[in-house]
Chain A
């Protein structure tokens, strides 16, 4: 009987650990934008504009911060998590295994030297392109004269299982290791440096965003946003106003969460 009680207490503590929302950092929800006729899978903020992937309608849409339509780029076959670099919009085309770029109102393709199978996310810096290669369970890191393959299928350290998003920052690669329910950090040579969120009951780590202080992770099936510091310590969980959050974007003090479930954007600001 005593052991049953102990087990119950341990179970309750574990459950509470998964749901607990505690932090001295405030993230205040202030607005929800409903997205009409958009099945959203990717979001990126650019100044006062929002770029959205509309996977069902094979297009990328630009809106203002209130969600008002500005323009669209069509015939992009199943766009997923998008990224902005040097004022250009980079779009992994999931159906055709291509990387598209919107620059000065024109769409072009970028040559990928190693072909992905269902590219789901992209991130760039001045010399590198990182692609989340969903069906090959890896990240492709393409430099000018070098290709580095990061990860392989599996559940251990250094391995990935259906990665969906990637962020390349400060010579590190942060991967939304979606179906391993965690974030994994690699160096540019592919060495695993850190695993984040493994004990936080994430149910599909679909989207990731970074600032100079924080790592934001969308828990797609768990309807949560988990916010970590760069050491990987969980500092905050957002649980309200979310419905299958699939991607997230941060700009200055504005945090935008893209909800695939109810086709909306949840907007937060903070006191940082």
Chain B
């Protein structure tokens, strides 16, 4: 019985680790961020992606960074579609595993 409890607790810890420990960082390079209607429109469209947070727009360098929280399986196509919806042509999209325990250095 004791072993079962320990196993159950271990199972819970592992589950918690998966749920809260996984996050992805997305980097998107686009042209034409000088227009605020377009740039904040891109933010608005990316905000529609489930789990999207910490969307940051670097106007000068044409770089957008964001995190996708939780276990969401995001793919490049979904992000590229949102970029196109906002009226931009995505130049480059990178998706990196980003353990949330280490926290976003920008925060």
Partner of B36, one of A39, A95, A162, A221: A39
Q: Which listed residue, A39, A80, A95, A221, touches B37 by the CB 8 Å rule? A: A80
Whether A78 pairs with B35 at a CB distance below 8 angstroms is no
Given contacts A95-B47, A162-B87, contact A118 B36 (CB under 8 A): no
Provide the A157-191 mask, 1 if CB < 8 A to any CB of B, else 0: 00000101000000000000010000000000000
B34 contact set on A, CB distance < 8 A: 221, 244
Verify if B20 is at the interface (C-beta below 8 Å from A): no
Annotate A186-213 by CB proximity to B: 1 below 8 A, 0 otherwise. 0000000000000000001010000000
B40/A95 in contact, CB under 8 A: yes
Interface residues on A, range: 20 to 34
Note all chain A residues with C-beta closer than 8 A to B37: 80, 94, 118, 120, 134, 162, 164, 178, 206
Residues in B with CB closer than 8 Å to A135 are: 41, 85
Of B37, B41, B44, B47, most A-chain CB atoms within 10 Å:
B37
Closest chain B residue, CB of each to CB of A161: B87
Residues of chain A contacted by B85 (CB below 8 angstroms): 135
Report the number of A-B residue pairs with Cβ-Cβ less than 8 Å.
Answer: 38
Q: Is B43 an interface residue (CB 8 A)?
A: yes
A80 to B36, CA, bound (A): 9
Q: Is the beta-carbon distance between A94 and B40 smaller than 8 angstroms?
A: yes
> Size class of B's contact patch?
10 to 19
Q: How far is the CB of A165 from chain B (nearest CB, A)?
A: 10
Q: Which residue of B lies closest to A261 (CB)?
A: B34
A55 at the interface (CB under 8 A from B): yes
* Chain B residue, CB-CB nearest to A40: B36
Asked if A220 is at the interface (CB within 8 A of a chain B CB), the reply is yes
User: With the chains together, A253 CA to B107 CA distance in Å?
Assistant: 46
For residues 16 through 58 of chain A, which have their beta carbon under 8 Å from a beta carbon of chain B?
Answer: 39, 41, 55
Give the CA-CA distance A260 to B37 in the complex, in Å: 11
Per-position binary interface string of chain A over residues 56-87, scored 1 when its CB falls under 8 Å from any chain B CB and 0 otherwise: 00000000000000000000001010000000
**Could you tell me which A residues sit within 8 Å of B by CB distance?**
39, 41, 55, 78, 80, 94-95, 118, 120, 134-135, 162, 164, 178, 204, 206, 220-221, 244, 246, 260
- Of the A-B pairs whose beta carbons lie under 8 Å apart in the complex, a sample of 5, sorted by A's number, is A39-B36, A94-B37, A95-B43, A206-B35, A221-B34
Which residues of B are interface residues toward A (Cβ below 8 A)? 34-37, 40-41, 43-44, 47, 85, 87
Given contacts A39-B36, A41-B36, A204-B35, 14 further A-B contacts (CB under 8 A): A55-B40, A78-B40, A78-B43, A80-B36, A94-B37, A95-B44, A120-B37, A134-B41, A135-B41, A162-B87, A206-B35, A206-B37, A221-B34, A246-B36
